[in-house]
């Protein structure tokens, strides 16, 4: 049975014993730099009680996340930091991880993910991450955008399964086979793009559910994700939406509303699917 977040502080215990928040802020496409969007978004989120920030090498805003973490005055162990390696390889992993650690200006990273299986070299990259974990520089090792064949490839090489698989999840991209596989193998499911990148806020059925519940379409989508027990990381750089997105814990969607969302057609939103990427080791 998946854990459902009761409030913004709710956590899940991963398969390696690490405790991870079930809710946080994503900073994909949040612009970096002193006049960028990332610092302001992270600052407000931490002030409002968010305790997980999801960034990546590819986003180019790890340094901004690190600066705001330092400015917040919060203890390092009170904020869960997720980042990702964009291109794979043993030596590259070691090099880029060191750079990420320096940019974030932290002694360790809570969750480090293989961002994609597309560039191959999965096993050598994964082994490098496990070595970094053994050194105490990473608390948990995970993957992102992995299909069942990629997760099976890790197992067949005699390596421990990842703690987390971060995949795109929302009513138009539900990936039930991957979700079931992860849960059967004690891999936590982390859903990115729960707001469908803002592309479906005008959907008639979604807007009807929002109106009946006196909530915004974004809140309905976040609540759907939480009620499925997914670790959920809505992205926003707007202060009002960062606040709105966290007001999803003192109410719930009834079975009828959930059934409508669960039966949305899996079309209209067709990014690349991890199932389409062949295993390349």
Question: What is the full DSSP assignment across 134-146?
Answer: HTTSEEEEEEES-
**What is the pTM for the complete model shown?**
0.94
Say what the pLDDT of residue 268 is.
Answer: 44
Reported as a pLDDT band with limits 50, 70 and 90, residue 279 is low
pLDDT tens sequence across 57-91: 999 999 999 999 999 999 999 999 999 999 999 99
Is 99 inside any structural domain?
Answer: yes
User: What is the mean pLDDT of the segment spanning 122-127?
Assistant: 97
How far apart, in whole angstroms, are the C-alpha atoms of residue 105 and residue 188? Answer: 27
Query: Any known ligand binding at 170?
Result: no
CA dihedral 53, 177, 209, 260 (to 10 degrees): -170
Confirm if 220 and 226 have CB atoms less than 8 A apart: no
Is 228 inside any structural domain?
Answer: no
Is the pLDDT assigned to residue 270 strictly greater than 60?
Answer: no
Is 54 inside any structural domain?
Answer: yes
Closest CA to 41 of 82, 78, 72, 12: 72
Q: Which residues contact 266 (CB under 8 A, 6 or more apart)?
A: 172, 173, 174
User: What is the mean pLDDT of the segment spanning 179-199?
Assistant: 96
* Domain span holding position 62: 11-193
**Catalytic positions, written as ranges:** 59
How far apart, in whole angstroms, are the C-alpha atoms of residue 98 and residue 36? Answer: 24
pLDDT tens sequence across 211-253: 999 999 999 999 999 999 999 999 999 999 999 999 999 999 9
Q: What is the CATH number of the domain that holds 85?
A: 3.20.20.100
Is 147 inside any structural domain?
Answer: yes
Is 267 inside any structural domain?
Answer: no
DSSP 82-147: EEEESS--HHHHHHHHHHHHHHHT-S-EEEEEE--STT--HHHHHHHHHHHHHTTSEEEEEEES--
* Total number of domains constituting the chain: 1
């Amino acid at each position: 049975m998946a854990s459902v977040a009761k409030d913004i502080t709710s956590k899940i215990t991963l398969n390696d014993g690490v405790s991870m928040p079930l809710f946080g802020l994503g900073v994909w496409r949040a612009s970096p730099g002193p006049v960028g969007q990332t610092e302001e978004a992270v600052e407000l989120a931490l002030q409002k009680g968010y305790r997980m920030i999801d960034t990546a090498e590819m986003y180019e805003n790890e340094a901004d996340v690190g600066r705001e973490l330092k400015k917040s005055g919060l203890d390092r162990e009170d904020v869960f930091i997720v980042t990702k390696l964009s291109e794979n390889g043993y030596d590259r992993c070691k090099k880029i991880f060191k750079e990420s650690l320096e940019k974030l200006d932290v002694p360790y990273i809570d969750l480090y993910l293989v961002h994609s299986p597309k560039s191959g070299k999965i096993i050598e990259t994964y082994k490098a991450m496990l070595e970094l974990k053994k050194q105490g520089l990473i608390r948990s090792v995970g993957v992102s955008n992995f299909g069942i064949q990629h997760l099976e490839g890790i197992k067949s090489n005699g390596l421990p399964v990842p703690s987390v698989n971060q995949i795109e999840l929302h009513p138009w991209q539900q990936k039930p086979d991957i979700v079931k596989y992860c849960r059967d193998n004690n891999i936590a499911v982390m859903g990115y793009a729960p707001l469908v990148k803002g592309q479906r806020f005008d959907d008639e059925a979604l807007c009807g559910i929002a109106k009946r519940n006196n909530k915004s379409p974004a809140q309905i989508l976040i609540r759907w994700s939480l009620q499925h027990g997914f670790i959920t990381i809505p992205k926003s750089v707007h202060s009002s939406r960062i606040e709105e997105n966290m007001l999803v814990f003192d109410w719930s969607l009834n079975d009828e509303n959930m059934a409508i969302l669960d039966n949305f057609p899996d079309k209209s939103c067709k990014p690349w699917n991890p199932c389409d990427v062949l295993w390349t080791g």
